[in-house]
Amino acid sequence: MKIFSFTWFAYNKLRVKAYTFVVRNLFAAWGADSVLEPSAKLMAPNLIRIGSKVTICEHAWLNAKDDRGDGKPTLSIGDGTYIGRFVHINAWQQVAIEENVLLADRVFISDADHNYENIEVPIRLQGDLFKGPVRLKEGCWLGIGVVVLPGVTIGKNAVVAANSVVTKDVPDYVVAAGIPAKIIKQLK
């Protein structure tokens, strides 16, 4: 059993390294020692900048779009950031994730929303609407299932509790929780 476990671990590590080696040149920038699981879904990786020592886990979805029309990256992920399984990030104009950010599994982040102003047209056909940039400052931690809505900044070393919905800015060094997320504790 130990031999099987070791063999599987070695195979998986080699598979991830090989995939990362192949796809890294598709990105606007790719930092040293970053890894990307093969099951991750990428939309417009040429608009995504990845720092060094970034981990992007299974089934993460990085979805970039050039709504500005300038061809510059719309999604920036800082050094040492960890992106958990099934994380979904939409970056239509600007999502900036700073260094050493921790995104637990199933986090959703978006700087845009669906347009739904015209009641005569199905929402699906009305297109997307940029609502505001999203910024996750250095060292923040978003728990499992957190949703970050457009136009939000989450502060340095802030913690957002599991399954919270962040609708407004979260300051540095606090714990926020709930729907909508509210500050429940000041960190010292």
Cross-strand partners of 168: none
Q: Which listed residue (15, 68, 72, 114) is catalytic?
A: 114
Asked if 59 is an active-site residue, the reply is no
Residues annotated as catalytic are: 114
